[in-house]
Amino acid sequence: MREDVIDFDRLGRRIPPVSPRLIGIVLAAIAVLAVLFSTFYQVQPEAVGVVMRFGKFVRTSEPGLHAKVPFVERVQKVPVQRQLKHEFGFRTEEAAVRTRYSESDFAAESVMLTGDLNVAVVEWIVQYRVSDPYKFLFKVRNLDDTFRAMTEAVMREVVGDRTVTEVLTVGRQEIETRVVEQLQALVTQYEMGVTVDQVVLQDVNPPDPVKPSWDAVNQAQQQRDRLINEARAEYNKVVPRAKGEAEQAILQAQGYALDRVNRAQGDSARFKSLYEAYRKAPEVTRRRMHLETMERVLPLVGGKLFLDKDAKGILPLFSFDKLQGTVPGVPRGGGDQ
């Protein structure tokens, strides 16, 4: 621990004696430096310098290196090119790829009444620029607070004219443009020397206790769409097929019609030809046709019985199942073959 003890005596003794001449030179150098620093100043590219002589505004200077009267003139730099931003209802704590937001609650800023006397939680940002450095510096005290208060008042005025549904869904764009308009008018009235670039609504939500019921509405909406889609699907599954089948039935009927007419025409043509021939010798032809048919038919007949025209009461001679065999379509009747 001995090393920590500082021996002031020895330290003092080490400083060499200083001549008054040296002190004079150092003081002169400091004075020159002070004058130089007070004379030249630099204005950043995004800013403009406002020069005041004894507190009186004399000129503004553009970006670059400038000189002024030392000690008499003072410069205040105003970032006119930079876009400034205010956040309402939330605060960005650290802007990065994954931006971190403050955990604190800014509900007082974001909770507002809508035109149908409901409540919405609106978070938004305002971007603005300094357009008149003179007004910006000398017309309004505590410009930031004023600007925030104005913005909140205007936002509430605009939201207060809209229904909660409008605020939460379709009305966002319009709210943004209306707020910009009204805020700009107010800024001009207050001579703040700023221009409002844009207002962007961020999260716009119903209050937390009401949220589930909003979700339920969304759900119901999807359910509705699903039901309708399902019904449409069913419709589409059945109707086009039915159309095809209908066409099929019609085509089939057309086929039938063609078939029927053609056959009729064929039959009648045949009959006509036959008739023309028949007419020449009706009696003979008739007999011939009859006999020819019999000739073709009789060999096919399963059982035959020739009976004298005077024979009577022979029917009981046949067994019943033999007779049955004559009835077509009954399989067991084959005894006569």
Partner 1 sequence: MNTRLLQIAAVVLALIAFNDAFYQVNESDQVIITQFGNPIGTPVTSPGMHFKLPFIQRANRFDKRFLEWDGNPNQVPTRDKRFIWVDTYARWRIVDPLKFFQRLRDERGAQSRLDDILDGEVRNAVARYDLIEIVRSTNRNPEDVPIEAGEERVILEQIKQGRRQIHHEILERAASRMSDLGIELLDIRLKRINYVEEVQKDVFARMIAERQRIAELFRSEGEGESARIRGERERELKRIQSEAYRTAEELRGKADAQATDIYAEAHGRDADFYAFTKSLETYEKSIDPKTFFILSTDSELLKFIQRPR
Q: Of residues 59, 85, 91, 226, which one binds partner 1 by CB under 8 A?
A: 226
Stretch in the footprint of partner 1 (CB under 8 A) among 61-69, 78-86, 97-105, 304-312: 304-312
> Applying CB under 8 A, what is the total number of residues that bind partner 1?
126
Nearer to partner 1, 79 or 333 (CB): 333
Q: Which of residues 312-331 bind partner 1 (CB under 8 A)?
A: 322-323, 325-326, 328
Distance from C-alpha of 230 to C-alpha of 236, rounded to nearest angstrom: 10
Name which of 20 and 299 has its Cβ closer to partner 1. 299
Applying CB under 8 A, does 246 fall inside the site for partner 1?
yes
Q: Is 116 in the site for partner 1 (CB under 8 A)?
A: yes
What does DSSP assign to residue 35? H
Q: How far is the CB of 185 from partner 1 (least distance, A)?
A: 12
Name the minimum Å distance from CB 121 to partner 1.
Answer: 11
> Which among 19-27, 32-40, 89-97, 264-272 is the span making contact with partner 1, rule CB under 8 A?
264-272
Nearer to partner 1, 84 or 137 (CB): 137
Using CA atoms, how far apart are residues 199 and 173, in angstroms rounded to an integer? 10
Hey, which residues between 68 and 107 contact partner 1 (CB under 8 A)? Answer: none
User: Which residues have C-beta within 8 Å of that of residue 336, sequence separation ≥ 6?
Assistant: 302, 303, 322, 325, 326
Choose which of 75, 84, 111, 125 interacts with partner 1 (CB under 8 A): 111
Quick one: DSSP state of residue 302? S
User: 57 and 138 in contact (C-beta within 8 Å)?
Assistant: yes
Give the containing element (helix H, strand E) for 121.
Answer: strand 119-130
Q: What are the DSSP calls for 51-93, one per residue?
A: EEETTEEEEEE-SEEEE--TTTEEEEEE-SSSPEEEEES--EE
Asked if 185 touches partner 1 (CB under 8 A), the answer is no
CA distance 123 to 200: 9
Between 102 and 219, CB nearer to partner 1: 219
